[in-house]
Structure formats: structure tokens, C-alpha cells
């Protein structure tokens, strides 16, 4: 007789608080290189909500188990597994399926973390911190003292970027929509925080003076993206990784003709699917160390049991949260 495990699934796309169902699924005997992980925690990210709604960059095919990231411990391994053993702390590298008490996949679909890492913080490692790390390391060469500018600086990626940049000796200009956010981002390590409006752009220009700005990160689009392009130096790059305003990216001709700006996109899910084991280690190893040493921290609003998933989805869609909503998968 097979053991059973609980997971969240949606039979149709729609409002996550309405369409998600808590269902049972069987735990089958492991074969070959399969690993079974007892999942412990999983954050609710905007991408998860969009996936359930049917508005994500990749089409969902219900019925499906959502959840782009999480953290757990290896419960058992198949007879051919060599890289993991029972008790190892891991994060899944799959693009969905983390909102489940158990997750079974081939061993190469998991990345091992230090056993001393906080599991809640580890559950939030794969997307936002890795996106921030990629923005700071994989697009232009930056030296200590160089500036980096971003909008949506209070987002998960934005806060991670501030902390990682500080460790690298980089300076950050950060744009936000509410003045109340400025003190907490300065305390987090931001060098400058301005309102995302024309006055804020003028203040940022005055701060930079003639100092080059090689790269900016755009998660908003619309006028906010234009503000970042206005700040960039000639031949600078803007990397777009989100579209929070749901407004199209409009590029004034002068920025292409007279500044020769470069516009790039970043979808970290796609990067994970193409990255080698060495590339994954290059990113995850230093970020895990930062979490352990408390140099990288993601704020948590509330940890909510899996059985109370409707309230969790509602809370994750509300404004004014203090951080991520986390599903406790126990």
C-alpha cells in the first residue's frame, strides 16, 4: 500500500484563493536516480500567483502543482543516487511543484545547501537573490565603488540586490513609490533612495554628477523605466526582469540615437534551465554563505500552514505586507 502526501493543486486557472485545492497524492517507490525530499517551507511569489491565474510567461496546464521555489530535507534516495543522501538540506531546481509535502525528482533537480542554513530563508534563495546576483555579475563589469541603479527597490529582488551590492563594495541608487520606504532601505544598506518621479531623477543625477552609470535594473516598465534610461551613461545597459506596472516598455528615440543604450531581458527561470552545475555552484554557494552569516536576509510577513492556504493566498495578494508569505508544508 502506497503512502500518501498532501499538495496544493489547481484544476483550472483563476484566483489562487479560489481555485487551489488541497489534495492527496501517492508516494511511489523510488527508482534509479530519483530523490524524495520532505519539503518544509515555500514562499508565495508573484510568479506563483501569475502561474495559477494563467498570466505567467509559461503556460500552465491544469491540473498542476504550483510553487517555483522551496526548501526541504532529503527523506530517501534511489539506488543509483550519488550526489545526495538522507538528511541533506536541498532546494528544488524545478520550475514548479514546490507546494507539496513531498517532491520526487532526479537528483540533478536539487541543489544541496549547508545544513546550518535557516530553512525559511533557504526556501527563498532560488529566485530573488539569484536574480539580484545575476544582475550584478553577468551583464557588465563592475568594480568596487561603481554605481548601480534600480526601481522597485523595496521588492524581494531589490532588497537582495542592495545587500549583495554592499558585500561587493558597489553603491546603489534605489527608486521607490512611497517615502515611508526610504529609511528602512537606507538601514538595509542602500546608498541612496529617491522617490520614483522627476524630482527623484533630478536628485539622482545630482548625486552621480559626472560619475558613470553603466547598468540599471528595471522591474516596473512605463515611466519608471524611462527614469532609469535617463540616468544611464552612453553605452549603458538596462536589464528588465519584471513588469509590475503592467505598462509596456517605451524607449525615447534620443536614448537609442544619442546614448546608444542597450536593452536586455532576464528571466531567471530560463537561466536555471540552461545553467551548468558549475554555474549553479558559483551562484548558490556565496549566497548561502551570506544567509548563514546574516549578510543576506529576506523579510517574512507570516508563515501560514499549508491547510490554511486560502488565507495565505489572500494575504500574499494584499498590499502593506512586511515581507514574504511562507507556506509551512509540515
Rounded Cα distance, 48 and 67, in Å: 6
Q: Which residues are catalytic?
A: 56
Rounded Cα distance, 45 and 321, in Å: 13
Whether residues 57 and 168 fall in one domain:
no
SS3 for 7? strand
277 lies in some domain = no
Rounded Cα distance, 193 and 310, in Å: 35
Looking at residue 322, its pLDDT comes to: 87
Whether residues 263 and 170 fall in one domain:
yes
285 lies in some domain = no
Rounded Cα distance, 260 and 247, in Å: 23
141 lies in some domain = yes
Instruction: Please tell me the total count of domains within the chain.
Output: 2
CATH number at residue 92: 3.90.180.10
Cβ contacts of 318 within 8 Å, gap of 6 or more: none
Question: What confidence tens digit (pLDDT) does each residue in 185-194 have?
Answer: 999 999 999 9
Positive/negative CA dihedral, 290, 294, 300, 305: positive
SS3 for 9? strand
Question: What confidence tens digit (pLDDT) does each residue in 201-247 have?
Answer: 999 999 999 899 999 999 999 999 999 999 999 999 999 999 887 77
282 lies in some domain = no
Rounded Cα distance, 278 and 248, in Å: 36
Whether residues 133 and 82 fall in one domain:
no
| Residues 235 and 255 sit within 8 Å (Cβ to Cβ) | no
Whether residues 68 and 146 fall in one domain:
no
Looking at residue 9, its pLDDT comes to: 98
| Residues 66 and 52 sit within 8 Å (Cβ to Cβ) | yes
275 lies in some domain = no
DSSP, residue by residue, 103-131: EEEEGGGEEEE-TTS-HHHHHTSTTHHHH
Please name which of 147, 277, 273 lies closest in space to residue 217, comparing C-alpha atoms.
147
- Which one-letter DSSP state was computed for residue 179? G
| Residues 38 and 73 sit within 8 Å (Cβ to Cβ) | yes
CATH number at residue 138: 3.40.50.720
287 lies in some domain = no
Burial of 130: CB neighbours in 10 Å, binned 0-12, 13-18, 19+: buried
290 lies in some domain = no
Estimate to the nearest angstrom the gap between the alpha carbon of 71 and the chain centroid. Answer: 14
22 lies in some domain = yes
Please name which of 219, 218, 242, 220 lies closest in space to residue 232, comparing C-alpha atoms.
218
Whether residues 240 and 152 fall in one domain:
yes
| Residues 330 and 71 sit within 8 Å (Cβ to Cβ) | no
Whether residues 245 and 119 fall in one domain:
no
Whether residues 111 and 147 fall in one domain:
no
Whether residues 181 and 100 fall in one domain:
no
Whether residues 105 and 142 fall in one domain:
no
Domain that holds residue 38: 3-124+298-328
Q: What is the CA radius of gyration of the chain?
A: 21
Looking at residue 91, its pLDDT comes to: 97
Whether residues 147 and 115 fall in one domain:
no
| Residues 260 and 73 sit within 8 Å (Cβ to Cβ) | no
pLDDT tens for the chain, residues 1 to 330: 578 999 999 999 999 999 999 999 999 999 999 999 999 999 999 999 999 999 888 888 999 999 999 999 999 999 999 999 999 999 999 989 999 999 999 999 999 999 999 999 999 999 999 999 999 999 999 999 999 999 999 999 999 999 999 999 999 999 999 999 999 999 999 999 999 999 999 999 999 998 999 999 999 999 999 999 999 999 999 999 998 877 778 889 999 999 999 999 999 989 998 999 899 999 999 999 999 999 999 999 999 999 999 999 999 999 888 899 999 999
Rounded Cα distance, 226 and 233, in Å: 13
Whether residues 134 and 120 fall in one domain:
no
| Residues 279 and 111 sit within 8 Å (Cβ to Cβ) | no
Whether residues 170 and 199 fall in one domain:
yes
Amino acid at each position: 500500500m502506497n503512502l500518501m502526501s498532501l499538495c496544493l493543486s489547481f484544476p483550472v486557472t483563476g484566483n489562487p484563493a479560489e481555485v487551489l485545492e488541497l489534495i492527496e497524492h501517492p508516494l511511489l517507490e523510488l527508482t534509479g536516480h530519483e530523490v524524495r525530499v520532505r519539503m518544509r517551507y515555500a514562499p508565495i511569489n508573484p510568479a506563483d500567483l501569475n502561474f495559477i491565474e494563467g498570466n505567467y510567461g509559461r503556460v500552465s496546464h491544469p491540473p498542476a502543482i504550483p510553487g517555483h521555489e522551496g526548501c526541504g530535507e532529503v527523506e530517501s534516495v534511489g539506488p543509483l543516487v550519488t550526489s545526495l543522501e538522507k538528511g541533506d538540506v536541498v532546494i528544488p531546481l524545478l520550475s514548479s511543484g514546490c507546494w507539496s509535502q513531498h517532491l520526487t525528482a532526479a537528483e540533478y533537480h536539487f541543489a544541496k545547501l549547508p545544513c546550518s542554513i535557516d530553512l525559511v530563508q533557504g526556501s527563498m534563495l532560488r529566485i530573488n537573490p539569484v536574480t539580484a546576483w545575476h544582475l550584478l555579475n553577468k551583464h557588465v563589469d563592475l568594480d568596487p565603488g561603481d554605481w548601480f541603479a534600480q526601481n522597485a527597490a523595496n521588492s524581494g529582488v531589490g532588497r537582495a540586490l542592495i545587500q549583495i551590492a554592499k558585500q561587493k563594495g558597489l553603491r546603489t541608487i534605489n527608486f521607490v513609490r512611497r517615502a515611508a520606504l526610504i529609511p528602512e532601505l537606507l538601514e538595509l544598506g542602500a546608498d541612496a533612495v529617491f522617490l520614483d518621479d522627476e524630482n527623484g531623477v533630478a536628485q539622482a543625477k545630482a548625486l552621480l554628477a559626472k560619475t558613470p552609470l553603466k547598468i540599471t535594473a528595471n522591474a516596473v516598465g512605463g515611466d519608471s523605466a524611462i527614469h532609469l534610461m535617463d540616468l544611464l551613461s552612453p553605452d549603458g545597459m538596462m536589464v528588465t526582469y519584471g513588469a509590475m506596472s503592467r505598462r509596456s516598455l517605451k524607449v525615447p528615440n534620443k536614448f537609442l540615437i544619442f546614448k546608444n543604450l542597450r536593452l536586455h531581458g532576464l528571466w531567471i527561470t530560463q537561466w536555471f534551465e540552461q545553467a551548468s552545475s558549475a554555474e549553479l555552484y558559483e551562484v548558490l554557494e556565496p549566497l548561502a554563505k551570506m544567509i548563514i552569516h546574516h549578510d543576506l536576509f529576506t523579510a517574512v510577513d507570516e508563515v501560514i500552514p499549508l491547510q490554511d492556504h486560502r488565507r495565505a493566498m489572500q494575504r500574499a495578494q494584499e498590499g502593506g505586507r512586511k515581507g514574504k508569505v511562507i507556506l509551512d508544508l509540515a
